[in-house]
Structure formats: C-alpha cells, structure tokens
Amino acid sequence: MVISPGVYRIKNAETNTIFELGRTEDSGVCSRRQNDQTNQHWFVQPSGDGVVFKNVESGQYAYTPITSIRNGSRLFGSGTSITWSLVPNGNEWAISLPRE
C-alpha cells in the first residue's frame, strides 16, 4: 500500500501532538497541540522508495543531517529534502529512518 500524495498533519503517537515547523529563522520542527495553522500541515510527496515532507506554510522540507540521523534526531526546515520511509500501521503510517 502506498500513501496518496496530499496535505497531511503528522501526529506524534507518543504525545498525541502535531508536528509543526517554527515560524522564525533557524527554528526546528516541534510537536504541539493541534491548532490547524498552516505550519502544522505538510505536503507528502513520493520520492524514490519513500516520501518527502514539505511544510505548507514555509515550503521547507523536514530535514536532519543524514550523517547524524538516528531515532530522536532533531528535525529542521530546509530547502534540502531527504526521503523518509513510511510503514503501514493499521489506518495510519509510521515514519521511519530514511533508507540508505
């Protein structure tokens, strides 16, 4: 099964909060209570064997340096994209580290 391209909110399963990209320069991606602002909406677009996440408000991609990527890595907004893997989980999707 493949996720359909479109605009989505990304929910942190542990905290039940929504990923958002901060509105100031050099701010990162954090998770907050859902408020439906455009910085909490992400274009999900196919890329190779996975997807990229592009913030609706800023046009920046969810990014972390590939050389230091691991679970718990801090995400930033960037003009550079990386491809994330999605794993089906019932009616939802789990995001996993990009494939190398």
Q: Quick one: pLDDT at residue 42?
A: 97
Those residues of the chain that have pLDDT short of 70 are 1, 25-26, 68-72, 98-100
Give pLDDT tens digits for 32-58: 999 989 999 999 999 988 999 999 999
Instruction: State the chain's mean pLDDT as an integer.
Output: 86
91 DSSP assignment? T
- Where b means 16+ CB within 10 Å and e means fewer, 18-35 reads bbbbeeeeeeebebeeee
Q: Which CATH number describes the domain made up of 6-93?
A: 2.80.10.50
